[in-house]
Each structure stands twice: as structure tokens, then as C-alpha cells.
């Protein structure tokens, strides 16, 4: 199963380090970053779980909840959490799902047989407050995820949901943005009364709203 952007993120109920978690109920009207791990006690994932824990407040400020998933059992997760705190300087402060039966892995297409028929891949899912999947990003086992990039994408998605704009290459929060081609010049004048820089008829650069 391959989940596509715009689809409703599948619901599930599994055990986690913070108790039984029914995903849709737990999510409520917040956004979520769901990120998967192939197994406990994996070195790259240990650094990632610690990094997300250290920066949880940055996600919370954006209305985003964090949830990890690994196919190892709950007892293993609790032991691994001790290693994470010891080596990364941050205790696990969000739920880590115990997906021993691969319920979540199968629902979210986390098994890539041509890469490895048994191991879940390391995928990030950004899910919005309507429970729709807005981004999927899959990493090989050897490459750590970039928390800054995940936050950048969330900022872009939340900004562009609110305004008729898109964010250009390498955009950072506060940089200029692009007026959507679907917005006529007349409508753009109402939204952006200070004007814009028309590079071409379809590339109209404007100061970031808000």
C-alpha cells in the first residue's frame, strides 16, 4: 500500500510508551509528525529520537504532535529510552508506538521488499489537522533525518494553507514568497496591496504575509 498526499492518514490503535494510543482520537485537531524506525537500538534512530525530544517545544508551538513507531515490543522501547536519554541528553517525551505486529507498518506502507523484505523503512509523515497526509519523506538506514527541514516544511504548509502563496527553493520562514499563478493580478492587489515584484507573468515575488 502506498499512501498518497491528500489521503486521510489511516487510523489505528496500538500500545505506546505513553499507554494505548488510538491515533485519530489522540491527534484531535492538531497536526502530527509520525516517523518510523526499523528497530530499537539502532544508532542513527537513537540520535533522531533524542533530537525530536530536545525540539518538541518547537513543534508544539506550531500545533504539531510527535509520535515515533518501531516494530519492537514495548518493554524494549522502555529500555531503549534509557539509552536515548543517556546518550542524547534528552528523555523521550512523546509516544513511541510498539508495532510488533506491524499494524502501522502495513497501513502506512513502511515495508519496501526490494530494499529489505523484513525491515520497516524510515519514513516521515506530516499529517494536518484534517488528518490528511501532506508530506512523506523516506530515508535509507544510513542517513539521519533533518529536523530543521521537517520544521521548514511545516512552516511552509501552514503558511500556504492560509494565504494564496507558495514558497520558493530554499525558503526559510520570513523570506519572500510567490503568489500562486491561479490568483489573478486583480485579486492579488486585494491580498497584497503593497504590490509585488513580477519576474515574469507567472513568477510574482511578494513579501511573506504575517
Within 10 Å of residue 98's Cβ, how many Cβ atoms? 23
List residues with catalytic annotation. Answer: 45
The Cα 208–Cα 92 span in angstroms is 35
**Nearest to residue 179, comparing CAs of 146, 156, 149, 207?**
207
Coil/strand/helix, residue 107: helix
Paired residues of 200 in beta bridges:
none
**Nearest to residue 35, comparing CAs of 105, 116, 106?**
105
Dihedral of CA 111/114/118/119: which sign?
Answer: negative
Sorted by sequence, the CB contacts under 8 Å of residue 156 that are 6+ apart come out as 167, 171
Residue 113 buriedness (CB in 10 A; 0-12 / 13-18 / 19+): exposed
The Cα 21–Cα 16 span in angstroms is 6
Amino acid at each position: 500500500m502506498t499512501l498518497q498526499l491528500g489521503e486521510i492518514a489511516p487510523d489505528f490503535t496500538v500500545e505506546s510508551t505513553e499507554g494505548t494510543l488510538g491515533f485519530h482520537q489522540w491527534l484531535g485537531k492538531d497536526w502530527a509528525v509520525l516517523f518510523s524506525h526499523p528497530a530499537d537500538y539502532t544508532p542513527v534512530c537513537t540520535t533522531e529520537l533524542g533530537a525530536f525530544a530536545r525540539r518538541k517545544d518547537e513543534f508544539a508551538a506550531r500545533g504539531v504532535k510527535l509520535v515515533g513507531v518501531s516494530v519492537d515490543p514495548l518493554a524494549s522501547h522502555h529500555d531503549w529510552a534509557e539509552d536515548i536519554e543517556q546518550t542524547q541528553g534528552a528523555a523521550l517525551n512523546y509516544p513511541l508506538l510498539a508495532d510488533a505486529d506491524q499494524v502501522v507498518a502495513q497501513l502506512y506502507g513502511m515495508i519496501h521488499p526490494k530494499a529489505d523484505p523484513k525491515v520497516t523503512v524510515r519514513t516521515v509523515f506530516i499529517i494536518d489537522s484534517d488528518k490528511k497526509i501532506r508530506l512523506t519523506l523516506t530515508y535509507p538506514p544510513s542517513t539521519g533525518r533533518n529536523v530543521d527541514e521537517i520544521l521548514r516544511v511545516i512552516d511552509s504548509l501552514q503558511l500556504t494553507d492560509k494565504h494564496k502563496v507558495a514558497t520558493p527553493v530554499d525558503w526559510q520562514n520570513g523570506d519572500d514568497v510567490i503568489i500562486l499563478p491561479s490568483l489573478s493580478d486583480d485579486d492579488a492587489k486585494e491580498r497584497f496591496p503593497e504590490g509585488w515584484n513580477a519576474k515574469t507573468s507567472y513568477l510574482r515575488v511578494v513579501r511573506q504575509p504575517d
